[in-house]
Structure 1
Amino acid sequence: MNALNMPPWMKGLSGNGQALAAPILIIMLLAMMILPLPAFVLDLFFSFNIALSIIVLLTSLYTVKPLDFMAFPTVLLISTMLRLALNVASTRVVLTEGHTGPDAAGKVIEAFGHFLIGGNYTVGIVVFVILTIINFVVVTKGAGRIAEVGARFALDAMPGKQMAIDADLNAGLIGEPEARRRRNEVSQEAEFYGAMDGASKYVRGDAIAGILVTVINIVGGLLVGMIQHDMGFADALKNYVLLAIGDGLVAQIPSLIISIAAGIVVSRVASESDIGTQVISQLFAKPQVMYITAAIIGGMGLIPGMPNLVFILLAAVLGGSGYLLQKKEKDKVAAAAAKEAAGPGGAGGPGGGAQAAPEQEEATWQDVLAVDTLGLEVGYRLIPLVDKTQGGELLKRIKGIRKKFAQEVGFLAPPVHIRDNLELKPSAYRITLKGVEVGTGEAFNGQFLAINPGMASGTLPGMVTTDPAFGLPAIWIDASLRDQATGMGYTVVDAGTVVATHLNHLITTHASELLGRAEVQSLLDHLAKESPKLVEDLVPKMLSLSALQKVLQNLLAEGVHIRDMRTIIETLAEFTPHTQDPSDLTAQVRVALGRAIVQQLFPTGGELSVMTLDNRLERLLMQAMQTGGADAAGIEPGLADTIAQQAASATAQQEALGVTPVLLVPGALRPLLSRFLRRALPQLKVLSHAEIPETKTIRVTSLVGAQ
């Protein structure tokens, strides 16, 4: 029967074969407890139990983080139930067939009884009790305690981790799928440690049950052998004690292995390497430690009566290992120095004579270095934030910043060239635009910046500073004060977020300078994929690429996004036959984008709270434009100072009300006042009446120039 002709129910079974493993295992466990099993089947299951415990131990050794083995609590429960079921099945066989000889319960139990305890009952009982104590008192109890503490800490840290995920999502550093994955990982971590805390109780109960089962097997076996089968005490003791101890050992050894695996899983710290690599690279990594240990062991070997040969041999091995480690470190340093010193003309002349002075090469065009559009320079203490090998989170954040910028503003910002600068302070950084510094600040790796948004209560110990992006009062605090600062109303961010936020703010502020001809051409090429005729008719037939670039830069300079390139191109195609002036074209494009501009400034509500000009001031400005042109230089200095002061006062009132400061003016005055007020009040947006959609209601909150 091929797959096409297979019935639906059979296809479901074949496709979900792994899902049937759990029901089959449960049925098998119940059958082992109820049905009598032959000795060969017992050997098979005991061997499988040992193999399963070894697989679990090796899997725990090679996991990188606890959640990589998320099924471990369930595996722990299943393995415990498997051992108990085997105890029940083997007890039945021991009591019913034990009089026939030591191989009555299978070869595995006989082998453990003979080879591990050597046929000596006292030794067997002592070994069994020691293994049970180690498993019950040491390994399982410690693993359970670690799981309990880990579960408590995971639950306590859950709100903070969720808030950090939400903050990264709101900042655009991660997307919704990544945020969902991180939230699931946080909840799974708490559930895992909680499940491990509960599952460890099964192992402790298994250890107690192992002791009771062994005692019952010995007592019951003696009674069955002497009463039912008329065996002598010595013969019954020989058979049943050997079988009972072998049965107990064959169950306790896999149990001990599983308990060790549980301790390894819950006690390890998550990293990018498995436990074996961690131990070797950290425990045997320092030559000084090896030398000191070798000296101590060697000194003990010189004491009379000590095993001198063993101690001295071990000391020699440790000393040799330390020498090899030290030599390896020196070779690395020498290789790095040689690589740094190597350069053109650095090799000696032929014949092995004195090294000739390097000949100065002629200057070429390769010596002309291109200026990076965007650059980030960091001090040496901030290198871990931008070093990929050290898990630098700032690199991921910068990628998220560029992606968010492209989605919101409408074009792809140039890549950020990152390098270290030893001339800066150790914790300082500098942001450059076309080789010129546009922002600088300090960020202390390992500490957190508590920013006071204006509602924080109380003060915190730390270094007082200001937020480099927005100038808000802030304090650099230790990580231990993070939760306290959050509870007091501070906005707490790490050093990487401080640098990323500052960079994001500067990129948004200087968006017009980042839009070059290459970016404009890329925008046109992207739009031409959907509307090739629209782009072809405008550029370069009606409007040059440089004029289009100037219009887009004018929009970006005033904080207008250019995502709607279709509307921008269509508007330019309509008005370009009448004028080629970039300022006039920008005004027409702003009117076409009016709904988007207002939506950007007032995301919610149908009423717009704005400021306007007094009628007398409006007439004065119109007269100044007629005499001096559309330039702020045409405004009389005293009047310009009065306008700036009153606009600043009205802007402060708007911000106190929680409203975006917007000045509504006639269309003819808008370019003049926008250029005039932009430098002193960058947060103030100047709109014209024509840019307000008809569906919006205007509410005037203050007049500029009323006094």
Structure 2
Amino acid sequence: MKKVFGKAIDNAISLGVVIIVLFLIIPIRTELLDFLLIINIGLSIMILMITMNISETLEFSIFPSLLLVTTLFRLGLNVSSTRAILYKGYAGEVIQNFGNLITGGNIVVGVVIFLIIVLVQFIVITKGAERVAEVAARFTLDAMPGKQMAIDADLSSGLIDEQTARLRRGKIQKEADFYGAMDGATKIVKGDAVMSLLITLINFVGGVIIGMVMGGGDFSTVLQKYSIVTIGDGLVSQLPALMISTATGMIVTRSVSEGSLNKDVVAQFKAQPRAILTTGIILIFLALIPNTPHLALFMGGSVLIGGGYLIERHMKSEAAAAAVAEEQKPAEETAPNESDYYKDINNVYSLLTVEPIEMEFGYSLIPLVDENRGGKLINRIVIFRRQYAQDMGFVIPSIRLHDASSLGTNQYVIRIRGEEVARGEILVDYYLALEPSNPLGEIDGIETVEPAYGIPSRWILPENKEMAEIYGYNVIDPLSVMLTHLSETVKRYAYELLNRAETMRLVENLKRTSPELVEEVVPNVVSYATLEKVLRSLLKEGVPIRDLGIILETLADALGQNRDIDAATEQVRGALARTITRRFCEDGQLRVVTLDAEVERKIISSLTRSEQGVYLALGSDLMQQIITQVADYVRKFNELSQPPILLVSQVIRGYFSRMITQFYPNVYVLSFNEVTSSVQIQAIGNITQEAPVRKAVGT
């Protein structure tokens, strides 16, 4: 029994829709019709209240479907009431009482008021809601690519994790679906308004004709009787329709709200006490003009002046309390005299400390960093550190943040081990709009270059943000610009941050899960110095070192056969093939540029061994030809929005990579044994030995 009841509850809406459809066919008793009409009015009030109390449209995502159901419900009741009116001239107490209420004994006045209500709904509310829904749907769909690019940028820079990105993508898709559905649902509201007018006309004309034919009395009696029930039926129908139309307009205009309508209205009016005071003074002034409603204007002006005064006094008291609280904070202890401080030689040694990562910024950027002022940079750095550790297996050291008077107010500098490696400048009160390849329109702004990737951009005002997204620009807030630059810089120099102490810490962490492996290999077979060199080499080329166990096992086997660290590193990369493939592969395809067999043979023959190891002694002509072709393919990869990848044999991979990265640090060189067999390799080009250009020699 309980199971059957549970299924009935789960399918209540479906059963309700079927019953509503039956209303169009099956007659309903007037008592039941009265009850259903009250339910219809209550349901419309409830929907209106919900739309006024939500802060986001997706909190009431069922509204388009609910709009269709309520419209069908209302039309079903209209058909039932029309049947009762035409049969009996009476459709229950609710309709009769509403008809008497609006007519007040005067049919002409009742008809005029009813027509005004219908026209207000049809021309003002329904028409406006339809237009807003149409524009919102178009703008939401146009802004989808820009929003998705912003999510991808945040994900790649470590600001968010994959789960958060998935949720945000889903929200964008749901918003697009919602506004698209609302664009169509508003047509239902418009059709409902037209249908209500037709039903009202049918009730009136048909009722009068039936009343005269069936002998319901003289013409004035029939007209009085059917006018009241027709107007009552129309009012009972139009009242819920008016509320639903208002709710439709309310929900499609909630795009810029941060809370419920009630909270937004109160908060934003309270924030403007002087406007309230000024309005009150103007009303008092109008009250002094002859032939005006003196009492009403004076009372309204007095209320507004009193309310504005109280609000302004409350705001001033809050500001004074905040200032007193700030003054009561304990003052910082006076710094000791510098000369006395450095008399202690131990304090001089503190000057020799070099921070692994350091970020200096100008005065205007302090609010982005200072948590007491709402700055979120530190929290975002924590998220990036966690994401990078999960992706790459290396924990970024603490980043020292401090202001610097030597910098411009909008500038910042990133230092690695005390030396500047990157610099940027941002405008706090603007947004950075990254220019697409083919923008749909031009946006006004200050031309600049995005600091992390060097993309042409513009600093735009906040009010131009939505329009820039519609034109296809990827719009980023200033904090994200600075953090993206910091994260990309840290990724580029991560291998320099891996020192001996951090290597030992990684080994100690592995010892918790694989104590036997660590005890056997480190440092008896693989020294900490060797392991550090291999790990730094992997990080430098963007290869994750999370699977430290596999790295140690492969190193132990490779060094047991050959003490060449470079060759051992290549074997480690082969053992990490799945990791490397996942790192660079997209959708089961890997777009690469290969080497011609003749070029590869010449590179192998150019490998030279010395006391310092093996190095590549390539001829200048061949090197120039290779670098020139790589430059062409780098531009082609940029058009594909993919990092450039060169695919070569394992024998030359390491040496060839060191040569290429001198000119193009963002080019990745992989070997065939680093790509799993499940991946489809797509060669978009081949580097060949170009024939030398012969110069004509005159005789």
Fold match (TM-score > 0.5):
yes
What is the deviation of 1:521?
A: 5.3
Of residues 498, 509, 531, the one that matches 1:515 is: 498
How far apart in 2 are the matches of 1:686 and 1:201? Answer: 57
How far apart in 1 are the matches of 2:533 and 2:375? Answer: 38
Q: What are the superposed Cα offsets for residues 640-665 of structure 1, whole Å, 9 maximum, x if unpaired?
A: 9x999997886455434547689999
* Superposed counterparts of 1:634-673, under 5 Å: 651=627, 654-658=630-634
Question: Residue 597 and residue 505 in structure 1: after superposition, are their counterparts in 2 closer, same or farther (change >3 A)?
Answer: farther
* Superposed counterparts of 1:220-619, under 5 Å: 220-344=206-330, 374-376=357-359, 401-402=384-385, 405-414=388-397, 424-433=407-416, 437-444=420-427, 445-450=430-435, 465-469=448-452, 472=454, 474-476=456-458, 478=460, 495=478, 498-515=481-498, 519-520=502-503, 523-524=506-507, 526-539=509-522, 548-549=531-532, 552-553=535-536, 556=539, 561-571=544-554, 573=556, 586-587=565-566, 589-595=568-574, 608=595
* Superposed counterparts of 1:99-114, under 5 Å: 104-114=90-100
Question: Which residue is 2:10 aligned to?
Answer: 18
Question: Which residue is 1:70 aligned to?
Answer: 61
AA paired with 1:21? I
Question: Which residue is 1:635 aligned to?
Answer: none
* Superposed counterparts of 1:44-63, under 5 Å: 44-63=35-54
SS at match of 1:329: helix
SS at match of 2:217: coil
How far apart in 2 are the matches of 1:146 and 1:503? Answer: 41
What is the deviation of 1:295?
A: 1.5
AA paired with 1:30? V
What is the deviation of 1:248?
A: 1.5
How far apart in 2 are the matches of 1:439 and 1:35? Answer: 77
SS at match of 1:119: coil
Amino-acid identity (%): 36
Q: What are the superposed Cα offsets for residues 53-86 of structure 1, whole Å, 9 maximum, x if unpaired?
A: 0011011112222233222222222222222221
Question: Which residue is 1:30 aligned to?
Answer: 21
Question: Residue 178 and residue 551 in structure 1: after superposition, are their counterparts in 2 closer, same or farther (change >3 A)?
Answer: closer
AA paired with 1:476? R
1:665–1:686 contact (8 Å) kept in structure 2:
no
How far apart in 1 are the matches of 2:436 and 2:84? Answer: 73
Question: Residue 469 and residue 255 in structure 1: after superposition, are their counterparts in 2 closer, same or farther (change >3 A)?
Answer: closer
Question: Which residue is 1:354 aligned to?
Answer: none
Q: What are the superposed Cα offsets for residues 245-285 of structure 1, whole Å, 9 maximum, x if unpaired?
A: 22211111111111111111112224431222222222331
Tell me, which stretches of 5 or more residues in structure 2 are unaligned?
Answer: 635-643, 691-699
AA paired with 1:48? I
How far apart in 2 are the matches of 1:280 and 1:586? Answer: 70
Q: What are the superposed Cα offsets for residues 217-245 of structure 1, whole Å, 9 maximum, x if unpaired?
A: 33444444454355344544443322222
How far apart in 1 are the matches of 2:64 and 2:669? Answer: 63
Question: Residue 420 and residue 248 in structure 1: after superposition, are their counterparts in 2 closer, same or farther (change >3 A)?
Answer: farther
SS at match of 2:267: helix
How far apart in 2 are the matches of 1:675 and 1:80? Answer: 70
Q: What are the superposed Cα offsets for residues 527-568 of structure 1, whole Å, 9 maximum, x if unpaired?
A: 345423112334567777677556634654576643341233
Question: Which residue is 1:140 aligned to?
Answer: 126
1:374–1:434 contact (8 Å) kept in structure 2:
yes
2:392–2:546 contact (8 Å) kept in structure 1:
yes
RMSD (CA atoms):
5.3
What is the deviation of 1:142?
A: 0.8
Say which is worse superposed, 657-666 or 546-555, in terms of deviation. Answer: 657-666
What is the deviation of 1:375?
A: 5.0
How far apart in 2 are the matches of 1:500 and 1:359? Answer: 32
How far apart in 2 are the matches of 1:151 and 1:206? Answer: 21
1:379–1:421 contact (8 Å) kept in structure 2:
yes
How far apart in 1 are the matches of 2:135 and 2:174? Answer: 16
Say which is worse superposed, 283-292 or 402-411, in terms of deviation. Answer: 402-411
What is the deviation of 1:46?
A: 0.7
Say which is worse superposed, 604-613 or 44-53, in terms of deviation. Answer: 604-613
Say which is worse superposed, 169-178 or 36-45, in terms of deviation. Answer: 169-178
Question: Residue 77 and residue 700 in structure 1: after superposition, are their counterparts in 2 closer, same or farther (change >3 A)?
Answer: closer
Instruction: Work out whether 1:82 is the aligned partner of 2:73.
Output: yes
2:273–2:312 contact (8 Å) kept in structure 1:
yes
Question: Residue 79 and residue 393 in structure 1: after superposition, are their counterparts in 2 closer, same or farther (change >3 A)?
Answer: farther
* Superposed counterparts of 1:195-210, under 5 Å: 195-210=181-196
What is the deviation of 1:310?
A: 3.0
1:611–1:662 contact (8 Å) kept in structure 2:
no
AA paired with 1:448? A
Question: Residue 309 and residue 117 in structure 1: after superposition, are their counterparts in 2 closer, same or farther (change >3 A)?
Answer: same
What is the deviation of 1:615?
A: 11
How far apart in 2 are the matches of 1:114 and 1:491? Answer: 60
Question: Residue 596 and residue 79 in structure 1: after superposition, are their counterparts in 2 closer, same or farther (change >3 A)?
Answer: same
* Superposed counterparts of 1:182-197, under 5 Å: 182-197=168-183
Question: Which residue is 2:87 aligned to?
Answer: 96
How far apart in 2 are the matches of 1:506 and 1:491? Answer: 21
AA paired with 1:112? F
SS at match of 1:447: strand
AA paired with 2:299? L
1:446–1:495 contact (8 Å) kept in structure 2:
yes
1:567–1:592 contact (8 Å) kept in structure 2:
no
How far apart in 1 are the matches of 2:592 and 2:659? Answer: 29
1:375–1:416 contact (8 Å) kept in structure 2:
yes
Q: What are the superposed Cα offsets for residues 143-197 of structure 1, whole Å, 9 maximum, x if unpaired?
A: 1111122223233334444555555566666566555544444444344333323
What is the deviation of 1:52?
A: 0.7
Query: Which structure has the bigger radius of gyration?
Result: 1
How far apart in 1 are the matches of 2:426 and 2:59? Answer: 34
How far apart in 2 are the matches of 1:358 and 1:425? Answer: 28
2:216–2:222 contact (8 Å) kept in structure 1:
no
Question: Residue 465 and residue 55 in structure 1: after superposition, are their counterparts in 2 closer, same or farther (change >3 A)?
Answer: closer
How far apart in 1 are the matches of 2:176 and 2:331? Answer: 61
How far apart in 1 are the matches of 2:259 and 2:490? Answer: 37
2:143–2:469 contact (8 Å) kept in structure 1:
no
AA paired with 1:565? L
Count of aligned pairs: 649
SS at match of 1:593: helix
What is the deviation of 1:587?
A: 4.0
Say which is worse superposed, 528-537 or 460-469, in terms of deviation. Answer: 460-469
SS at match of 1:438: strand
What is the deviation of 1:394?
A: 7.3
Q: What are the superposed Cα offsets for residues 627-684 of structure 1, whole Å, 9 maximum, x if unpaired?
A: xx6799xxxxxxx9x99999788645543454768999999xx99x999998898669
How far apart in 2 are the matches of 1:545 and 1:311? Answer: 87
How far apart in 2 are the matches of 1:517 and 1:317? Answer: 74
How far apart in 2 are the matches of 1:545 and 1:427? Answer: 43
2:150–2:475 contact (8 Å) kept in structure 1:
no
How far apart in 2 are the matches of 1:553 and 1:265? Answer: 55
1:449–1:494 contact (8 Å) kept in structure 2:
no
SS at match of 1:231: coil
TM-score for both structures, normalised by structure 1: 0.74
